[in-house]
Amino acid sequence: MRYLFMERGAVNLADFAWARQLNGEGMRELLQQPGYIQAGYSLLNAPVAARWQRKISTH
């Protein structure tokens, strides 16, 4: 299993897959990692997802 380190806390899945040359199996592994949430075409780590949730719920 590969581990993901996202410096910015969020990545565009298509761009990330292309840059890392991930195939279908690699994408499945990526999306199943604990602590990350898929939001549309982005993958967010838990702190970034929580910030977005707070931002949305306050507006």
Q: What is the pTM of this model?
A: 0.69
- What is the structure's pLDDT at 58? 82
- What is the structure's pLDDT at 2? 52
Low-confidence ranges of the chain (pLDDT < 70): 1-7, 59
Check if the beta carbon of residue 17 is closer than 8 Å to that of residue 26.
yes
- What is the structure's pLDDT at 53? 85
Q: How far apart are CA 23 and CA 54, in angstroms?
A: 34
- What is the structure's pLDDT at 25? 94
Integer CA distances (angstroms), 8 to 11, 14, 30, 43, 46, in order: 8, 16, 16, 11, 12
CA 45 to chain centre: 6
